[in-house]
């Protein structure tokens, strides 16, 4: 009697690549924040080894940057109660 071959399911390589791309797309911003933080610490330590005043300058620049970020973020928050959409 003739027994046809069972159909093979497609390999999971394409699905694996698709899931990996989605996960990396979700984690891109947190990974870049971690990498940026590590790079910032390395730049600070390098500047500190060159000259202590250069290390202090890096800290001052970070502080000014955080201050300006806070001021910009404060302008983004709407003032007063929310408007009624109806």
pLDDT at position 63 is 95
Structure tokens at 54: 């250069």
* Other Cβ atoms within 10 Å of 43 Cβ, number: 13
Q: What's this model's pTM, rounded to 2 decimal places?
A: 0.59
The vertex-77 CA angle with 73 and 82, nearest 5°, equals 170
Q: How many residues does the chain have?
A: 86
Is 60 within 8 Å of 44 (Cβ atoms)?
no
Mean pLDDT of successive 10-residue stretches along the chain, which has 86 residues: 71 85 93 95 94 94 94 83 76
Domain residue limits, the chain: 21-76
Q: Using CA atoms, how far apart are residues 86 and 82, in angstroms rounded to an integer?
A: 12
């Amino acid at each position: 009697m003739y027994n046809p071959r069972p159909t093979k399911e497609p390999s999971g390589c394409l699905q694996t690549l698709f899931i990996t791309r989605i996960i990396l797309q979700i984690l891109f911003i947190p990974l870049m924040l971690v990498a940026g933080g590590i790079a910032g610490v390395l730049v600070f330590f390098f500047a500190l080894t060159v000259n202590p005043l250069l290390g202090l300058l890096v800290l001052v620049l970070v502080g000014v940057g955080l201050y300006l970020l806070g001021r910009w973020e404060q302008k983004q928050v709407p003032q007063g109660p929310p408007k009624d959409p109806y």
